[in-house]
Amino acid sequence: MTGFAHEMRQNCRMLVIWALVIGGMIAVCMAMFPEMEAQSADLNEMFASMGVFTEAFGMDRLNIGEPMGFFGVEVGSVLGIGGAFFAAYLGIRMLSKEETEHTAEFLLTHPVSRFSVAAQKLAAVVACIVILNVACAACSIASFEMVDAAIDWEPFWLFCAAELLMQLEIACVCFALSAFIGRGSIGVGLGFAALLYFLNIVASLSDKVDWLRFVTPFAYADAASIVPNAALDETLVGLGVLYAVVALVIAVSVYARKDIAV
């Protein structure tokens, strides 16, 4: 576990910063709820008249005058985008940074197999994402308490689980990309996360591209599809797990064979 512990130490500061920023934004968003609740009738009417954008952001299925509806729309966006970028950044750098920062020659001339290196780095990615999500869930719960709003626990935990799965899927795909890409990998990772987010919006806007829901993990992590029925789309979640597993197999097999740039 030497490599795992090393990666956790290397990413500790970044993890704390992201947790504070996303957690803080969750708290700020939820702090606005009492004011929104008072104007909910007007806001719901306004959001309902936004045409296709009403559906794109799930405001036709969530009532922002209710705590869970507001949480889904506002916090869902913050946690969705912030968490996805964090996962993409972490995943895309994990293998490639050894080459871009010229530490690969140091690491890989020690008696460690490349499989072990990749496995321990992946474990660090998973641990960081889990810690971030635990911190965000704790901030969310504290924020509900702060505004004296009741949590509907089942959809809350399903939403948190979906966010975690989505971030793990993005991290795994970026981890695989990391085995191929050296320089410029961060841009690729963040761009990939942004693309997936917009694919979900596009899928919500038009039935003609409904198949995009099978591509982007934002589809199954969308609060508008989880909160109303307190359920996850098992097909989409299953596909997401499949994509992640395939990505990991590719990552390890490529990394084990590739020529290391030093």
Partner 1 sequence: MNDAVIEAVKLTKRYGKARGVTEVDLAVSRGDIFGFIGPNGAGKSTFIRTVLGLIKATSGEARVLGLECGPSRKEVLARVGYMPSEAQFYHGMRVADVIAYSARLRRRDCAAEAKRLCERLGLDAKRKVEDLSLGNRKKVSIVCAMQHKPDVYIFDEPTSGLDPLVQKEFFALLLERHDEGATVMLSSHVLSEVQRYCEHAAIIREGRIIASGTVDELSASAARHVRVRGVSGGFQPPSGSRSFALHDGDAAFLYQGDMHALVEWLAGVGFVDVMIEEPDIEEVFMHFYADGAADADNKARGGGAL
For partner 1, the binding residues (CB under 8 A) are 2-3, 6, 10, 101-113, 257, 259-260, 262
CB of 22 to partner 1, least distance (A): 23
- Which residue, 61 or 97, has its beta carbon nearer to partner 1? 97
Q: Are 91 and 178 in contact (CB under 8 A)?
A: yes
Q: Amino acid identity of 109? A: T
CB of 120 to partner 1, least distance (A): 11
- Which residue, 54 or 100, has its beta carbon nearer to partner 1? 100
What tokens were used for 129? 């994402």
What tokens were used for 57? 């952001």
CB of 182 to partner 1, least distance (A): 14
CB of 8 to partner 1, least distance (A): 13
Residue 174 φ/ψ region, left for φ over 0, alpha for ψ in the -120 to 50 degree band, beta for the rest: alpha
- Which residue, 18 or 70, has its beta carbon nearer to partner 1? 18
Helix, strand, coil tally for the chain in percent (to 5): 80, 0, 20
The SS3 of residue 81 is helix
CB of 176 to partner 1, least distance (A): 20
Q: Are 32 and 64 in contact (CB under 8 A)?
A: no
What tokens were used for 42? 């007007």
- CA dist 205 and 200 (Å) reads 9
Q: Are 247 and 172 in contact (CB under 8 A)?
A: yes
Q: What DSSP string describes 220-253?
A: TT-HHHHTTTT---HHHHHHHHHHHHHHHHHHHH
- Which residue, 107 or 202, has its beta carbon nearer to partner 1? 107
- Which residue, 45 or 101, has its beta carbon nearer to partner 1? 101
CB of 2 to partner 1, least distance (A): 4
- Which residue, 70 or 89, has its beta carbon nearer to partner 1? 89
